[in-house]
Amino acid sequence: MVFVVAVVSTLAWTRAASAYAWMIRHEYNGCVQCHADPSGGGLLTEYGRAQGVVLLASRYGKDATDEEPGKIKDFAFGLVPLPSPLLLGGDYRLLNFNQHLSVPGAPSTTTSRWIQMQADLEGQLTFGRFRANGSIGYDHNGAQAAAITHRQTDNLISRVHWLGVDLGSDNEFLLRAGRMNLPYGLRIIEHETFVRISTRTDINAAQQDGVAFAWNGEGLRAEIMAILGNYQINPDRFRERGYSGYIEWSPHPKIAAGLSSQVTHVEADPQLAGYPELWRQSHGLFARFTPWKPLVVMAEGDLLVNSTPSSPSSPDRGGPLGHATLLQADVEVWQGLHLIATGETLRPSSHGVDLSYGAWGSVAWFFLPHFDVRGDAIWQHLSTGGPAFTQTLYLAQLHGYL
């Protein structure tokens, strides 16, 4: 079984969504206050929009608490008033992608291109305890895993669409069904980290259809999802089924730690050469804490187990125990300006594949309300079962939201 890290790392940069787990520096150790998704990312609530102005964006000489955010926080900068049961949002991201690839025994190659990462509209309509949530967007590159039209390029896509009902005296529970992000580990914007690739739990292209139950209590949150498969891909044998979930405990407003678990089965895995039948497991730990308000440290470690059915010619088709790790430090040197360092390792659950490792250096600047820019320099040493090679990526992103 060959785990093609380089291919995934190169091709998957065409998706994007927002989730900032480092908001724990402001004592937001949960996500439900600011996002319609109870585990974070995507469509913002009215409160989340306000915090985007007050706490995320640079203030240029103004203290973060010296004034109200006003209408600029609202959809379309307040130019389009919305009734209270309706949330709307829109995201556009543009990426400049530069890759330098060094393979032993072959000439080095350099690739440079512009990529439209995201052009989505999102919305949620609430009727009492009931919610209808969804997104629609356009992707030039095809985005087959999220496509609702079926062309090789230029597709309409829908990353999420679900129906839900809030339960409990304080709406602390949410039961929903539809296409959703998988609940697992740190929900971070760096979706191409090894922990997100190996567990297939990024919030950009790895959504699945299913039924999920979320709980957000005082100092404790959790979500479990029965995965029924991605019904925007065909045939049915390509659809993974199983479960994914996490539980996170916050003993202090600036500390959170959790457990994740996932088990899935697919009759023919489209991400692996030869489309083998695959049982895939990942189980791990993650944590976030802020020892000093400008600094947030986040970590995740996952054990990986892949196995295919035994056969007479190959009685043991199980892979060895693999792992993926991430350690990240985010320093907000000035409100809205972040310097980020990330280290990562990966040993996939695959015979003959050695350790891969990498390092990221990133700068993110929320220079105005609704707008941010980001630059990443990424170096990775990659093993895929043959000769190891290295790649260096330089990424520059511009993001704006309605």
Tell me the average pLDDT across 176-204: 94
Closest CA to 167 of 197, 122, 109, 212: 212
Which DSSP helix (H) or strand (E) runs through 371? strand 371-382
CA separation for the pair 129, 167 (Å, rounded): 7
- pLDDT, position 3: 44
Query: Which residue in this structure is represented by tokens 């597709």?
Result: 155
Note the pLDDT of residue 334. 95
| Rg (the chain; Cα; Å) | 21
Whether omega before 235 lies within 30 degrees of 0, making that bond cis, reads: yes
pLDDT for position 400: 96
- Out of 140-149, 210-219, 343-352, pick the least confident: 140-149
Does the structure show a pLDDT above 90 at 375?
yes
Share of the chain above pLDDT 70, in %: 92
| Count of structural domains within the chain | 1
Residue 290's pLDDT is what?
97
Query: Smallest Cα–Cα separation from 185: which of 256, 90, 108?
Result: 256
Domain that holds residue 35: 5-401
- 220, two tokens: 């404790």
Task: Give residue-wise pLDDT tens across range 306-363.
Answer: 998 754 444 456 678 999 999 999 999 999 999 999 999 999 998 888 999 999 999 9
pLDDT score at 317: 60
CATH number at residue 36: 2.40.160.10
Distance CA 330, CA 218 (A): 26
Strands 337-347 and 255-266: unpaired
pLDDT value of residue 187: 94
pLDDT at 161 over 90: yes
How confident is the model over 58-74, as a mean pLDDT?
75
The answer to whether 225 and 183 have CB atoms below 8 angstroms apart is yes
**What is the rounded CA–CA span in Å between residue 63 and residue 6?**
44
User: How many whole angstroms from its chain centre is CA 236?
Assistant: 25
pLDDT of residue 312: 46
pLDDT given at position 66: 55
pLDDT tens track for 67-105: 678 889 999 999 989 999 999 999 999 999 999 999 888
Does residue 11 have a pLDDT over 80?
A: no
Q: How far is CA 296 from CA 27, 166, 332, in A?
A: 11, 31, 9
Across residues 204-227, what is the average pLDDT? 95
What single string gives the DSSP state of each residue in 132-162?
EEEEEEEETT--GGGBSS--SSSEEE-S-EE
Q: How confident is the model at residue 150 (pLDDT cuts 50, 70, 90)?
A: confident
Mean pLDDT, the chain, as a whole number? 90
Question: What pLDDT is recorded for position 162?
Answer: 98
Tokens for 12, please give them.
Answer: 């998957």
pLDDT score at 395: 96
CB contact at 8 A, 218 and 192: no
pLDDT at 64 exceeding the cut of 60: no
Which helix or strand (DSSP H or E) is residue 245 part of?
A: strand 241-252
SS3 21: helix
DSSP-derived 3-state class of residue 332: strand
> What is the torsion angle, in degrees rounded to the nearest 10, for the CA atoms of residue 163, residue 167, residue 173 and residue 176?
-20
DSSP 236: G
